[in-house]
Each structure stands twice: as C-alpha cells, then as structure tokens.
A and B are shown apart, each in its own frame.
Chain A
Amino acid sequence: MNIFSALASQFRTMWRILLHTFTRAETVQYPEQKPYLAPRYRGRIVLTLDPDGDERCVACNLCAAACPPDCIALQQGTREDGRWYPEFFRINFSRCIMCGLCEEACPTNAIQLIPDFEMCEYDRSSMVYEKEHLMIDGPGKYHDYNFYRVAGMEIEGKAKGEAQNEAPPIDVRSLLP
C-alpha cells in the first residue's frame, strides 16, 4: 500500500509541475525591466543638507563607530560660525554592506540611504566616495529637520536658549531663587 501511495504522490507531483506550463515566469528581466524599489530601500549612502542649505553632518563619528565593516572615515572640524563639520568624509562602497546602521546612528539625519544600488565600476578605487560625491543638494527624507534649530549648541546667529522649546539658560553659580 505504501508503494502505491508513494507512486501516486510522484505522479501527482509531475501533474502539478506540468500545470506550471501555463503560469507566468516570476523573473524580472533586470536591465530592461527595473524592479520596484521602496522609498525606504537601503542603497547608496548620501549626505544631506538642512532646510537652510547648510551641512547637517556634525562629524560626531557615530556612523563610523556603528559601521560593521568600518567603511566610513571622517575628520571633525569647526567653522568660524561655531558649526561642526567633517573636514573630509569618505565611504568605501566596495566594503559597505548597505545595512543602514549609520543612518540609525546619525543624530542629525545627515547620513541617509537611498533607493539606488547601481554602482558598478571597472576600477576598485572608484568605489571610494569622497564628501563631494556623497553630498546631495537637499534635505533627503526629512524636509523640516534642522539640528541647530532644536539643539542647545551655540552658533553664530543663535545664542544659548534660543532653540525651539528651549528654556533660557540658568546661571548655576547664582544662589538666587
């Protein structure tokens, strides 16, 4: 009896496979037919600007610390107006695994991953992107966020206590109630 059920199962399998003659192929014919990439797709990394058109990155190094394959390198600097910025910002895309941990680590929404993965190069060194290659001319996914408008850090044109929802600073050396 066992043999007959096994045999029937084989024939049933063959019939089911034969019916697949009439089903469509699942293949996406890639170069001609682009697959749909969701807006949140994790692809190439960009550096964004805040709504005022200034660099968002404050060179805190958290992305480089979070990066599992260690493909981010940067150097912090300070501008005359008090803003921090990366003197250089380098991502080696031949190492990048598009995990998005840098984006999650970023406190200023500066570093973002975008739905683009077509980065083929004949020369391996062309996969190393410098700051001018990474920088885009807009705020990316977060249109209104401006780090220096919500953080307490003092820069030129914005003293301490002037940020959104920020109380004026307390003079801790004073004993007055």
Chain B
Amino acid sequence: MSETMTIIFAISVMLAAVGGAAVLTWFERRLLGIWQDRYGPNRLGPGGILQVVADMLKLLTKHDWVPPFADRWVFIFAPTAIVVAMLLGFAVVPFGPGLHIIDVNIGLLFFIGMTSLAVYSVLLGGLASNNKYALLGGLRSAAQMVSYEVFMGLSLMGVVMLSGSFSMQDIVESQRDGWYCVSQSLGLFVFTIAAIAESHRLPFDLPEAEHELTAGFHTEYSGMKFAMFMLGEYLGLILISCMITTLFFGGWLAPFGATWLPPIVWFSLKTFIIICFFVLLRAAIPRPRYDQLMSLGWKVMLPLTLVNLVVTGAVALWMQGA
C-alpha cells in the first residue's frame, strides 16, 4: 500500500474501532439482557440502537469537572493514555492479506507493550484522584496487571515458536495447515484469562468492582473523561478479540476452505464471536476475591504457561529434527 493509502486506512481503522466500541456498549447490554432473561435498552430507535447516541450526548454535555483535591494534569492525562495505547495496538492487527497498517517484525511485542501501557492509565487515574476508593482500585489494578502481564506474554511464546515469527501476518500465514487453537489450546486458555484480566473486564474487573469500591479507579471521573475510560475499555475488548482471532483462530483465513467470503469478513466474524464469548463470561461468572485472583495467577496460570512453553519447545525441536 502507498503512504496515502496507509494513512486513509489507518484513519478508517481508527474510526471503525471507536465506532465499534460505541456500538458495543449498546450491543453488550442487549446481549446481557438476552442471557439474563430481560430486554436491555430497547426503547430508542430500532432495537434501541440510538441508545448509543443518547449516552454519548449525555456524557458529552456533562460538566467536565476536575475535583479540587485531585492532581490536575495526571487526572486529565490518565483517561487519554488508555485510549491512545489501545488505538495504537490496532496498528499491528492484520485485517486481511496485506490489509494492515504496519507489519513490523515485532508486531506481537508491540501489541503486548501497548496493552501494558494501558496499565498506567488505570494506575495514574486511581492515584491522581486522591480518593480512597480510587486508590484501592489503582492498587489492585497494579498488582493484577503486573502479575497477569507475566504469563500473558509467556502464553504467546508457544505461538511464536510454532510460527517462528513475531510478525502478525507471518503468524496468520503459518496457520494455513491448522489453527493454533488446537495445538496451542493451553496457550489459548491462559491467554484468554490473562487478556480478561489485562482489559479488566468482568469477571476480573477488580480495579473497578462497583460493589465494593463504588467504581474503583474512576470513582472521581465524570463526563467526557469517564467516557474516555469506557472507550478505552471497550477498545481493549475489541483489540483483545482481534488478537485472539489472529493468534489462535487463523486470523483472516477462511475455515474449511470457505473462500467465498472475503478475508476481512471472516476476520470480523471470528472477532465478533469472540466478543460475544467475552460478554457471555460477563453474564455467567461472578467476580473472584482479590487474593483468589492473585493465587490463581501465580499458582495455577504461571505453572501452566511454563509447562506449555516447555512442551511446545520440545515438540518444535523434535519436529525440526524429524
């Protein structure tokens, strides 16, 4: 792609991601409604889709307030950081053959780095609010994300070993003879859990935990800044789903040789199903206690990842020798 085309594509990806995140707020509530035997927002427009517009209008017209006791500049910076980091993460997502903003040879590392940067947003937001609940939320998020970060990266090393590359397009291409969700099922399992914790969505939304911490790190946020946090969270959900699709479900490759749909449609379909799966998790599973989350991370998930790493390495070596 030429430079102008790349810029146009980058802008359209950004718009699609932000728009998708906005629609997702409505879609998630409707889907939760279906699974909890109720309707969800269904009043405004066809099926309630205009609820998105109503919510946006409300958030945009609210008083953009910074509490006098807060650390002003950090307070304003925090919600921006998560959106920027998550949007940057979309740069390496391969939407189709040759359809990507940039295909760097460390694409996977770039993605992991960007999601790690999002931790700062939650952390700084909690710290700058100068509020006990927010501080507790920030504290939890720091511990949770640092510990889940460890095996989130490690769980992907199996994929890297099998494909022999950090580049997203290469990883997708190497799945032509079998998706990694089969050979790396353990890695998929661990990565999914780590990804939920990383994007702090239910059931691992302990930094937020509206039942115990009112709203955790964004207790003091309202209006547009609150909307930015929410946007970042939903962008994170989409990004994580895109990544799971790319790394474990063959990206834009068509399943069963069904190439009558264009690759980008297959990619979107797979991502959509994974987003639905995340919503199902939210509908079904209650939030664990904080210490349970920690012990699950260090005592179960990390050993599992290491076992996966060693076995995958051994098999890869054996295959090379054979």
Is the pairing of A and B real?
A: yes
A: residues with CB less than 8 A from B are: 3, 10, 13-14, 16-18, 20-21, 23-27, 29
Chain B 93-124 residues near chain A, CB threshold 8 A: none
Number of interface residues of B (CB under 8 A): 13
Contact A20 B280 (CB under 8 A): no
Contact with A along B145-157 (1 / 0, CB 8 A): 0000000000000
Jot down 5 A-B pairs with beta carbons below 8 A, ordered by A: A14-B280, A17-B283, A18-B284, A23-B37, A27-B39
Nearest Cβ distance between residue A127 and chain B, in whole angstroms?
A: 27
Q: B38 contacts A26, CB within 8 Å?
A: yes
Output the least CB separation between B152 and chain A (Å): 19
List, in ascending order, chain A residues with CB within 8 A of B300's CB: 3
Q: Which residue of A has the minimal Cβ distance to B282?
A: A17
What DSSP secondary structure best describes chain A's contact surface? helix
Among A20, A27, A29, point to the contact of B35 (Cβ < 8 A). A20
Question: B285: CB under 8 A from chain A?
Answer: yes
| Closest A-B pairs by Cβ, 4 of them | A17-B284, A14-B284, A13-B284, A27-B38
Q: Are A14 and B34 in contact (CB under 8 A)?
A: no
Indicate which residue in A13, A14, A17, A25 contacts B38 across the interface (CB closer than 8 Å).
A25
Contacting pair B37 A21 (CB below 8 A): no
In the complex, what's the smallest C-beta–C-beta distance from B52 to chain A, in angstroms? 21
What is the minimal beta-carbon distance from A24 to any residue of chain B, in angstroms? 7
Q: Which residues 31-52 in B have Cβ within 8 Å of A in the complex?
A: 33-39
Least CB separation from A20: chain B residue = B35
How many Å from the CB of A167 to the closest CB on chain B?
63
Which residues from chain A contact B281 at a C-beta distance below 8 Å? Answer: 14
Nearest CB on B from A11, distance (A): 9
B-side interface mostly: helix
- Is A10's CB under 8 angstroms from B37's CB? no
Known: A3-B300, A18-B280. A13 touches B37 (CB 8 A): no
Given the known interface contacts A3-B300, A14-B280, the answer about A20 and B285 at a Cβ–Cβ threshold of 8 Å is no
A3 to B301 CA separation, bound complex (whole angstroms): 11
Query: Which residues of chain A are near B37, meaning CB under 8 Å?
Result: 20, 23-26
Tell me which residues across on chain A come within 8 A of B36, comparing CB atoms: 20
- Chain A residues lying within 8 Å of B38, measured Cβ to Cβ, are 25-27
* Bound-complex Cα distance A29 to B48 (A): 14
B287 to chain A, nearest CB (A): 13
Q: How many Å lie between the Cα of A129 and that of B145 in the bound state?
A: 60
Question: B35 to A17, Cβ gap below 8 A?
Answer: yes
In the assembled complex, the CB of B289 is this many whole angstroms from the nearest CB of chain A, namely: 13
B39-A25 in contact (CB<8A): yes
Q: Are the CB atoms of B39 and A20 closer together than 8 Å?
A: no
Distance to closest chain B CB from A153 (angstroms): 56
Closest chain A residue to B286, Cβ basis: A13
8 A Cβ contacts from B265-304 to A: 280-281, 283-285, 300
Closest A residue, CB atoms, query B189: A7
In whole angstroms, how far apart are the Cα atoms of A23 and B283 in the complex? 15
Contact of A10 with B285 at beta-carbon distance under 8 Å, contacts A18-B280, A25-B39, A27-B39 already known: yes
Instruction: For A27, list chain B residues within 8 Å (CB).
Output: 38-39
Chain B residues closer than 8 Å to A21, beta-carbon distance: 34-35
A3 to B35, CA, bound (A): 26
CA A87 – CA B38 in complex, angstroms? 50
Residues of B within 8 A of A13 (CB): 284-285
State how many angstroms separate the Cβ of A13 from the closest Cβ of chain B: 5
Q: List chain B residues, Cβ under 8 A from A18.
A: 35, 280, 284
CB distance from A25 to the nearest CB of B (A): 5
Residues of B within 8 A of A29 (CB): 39
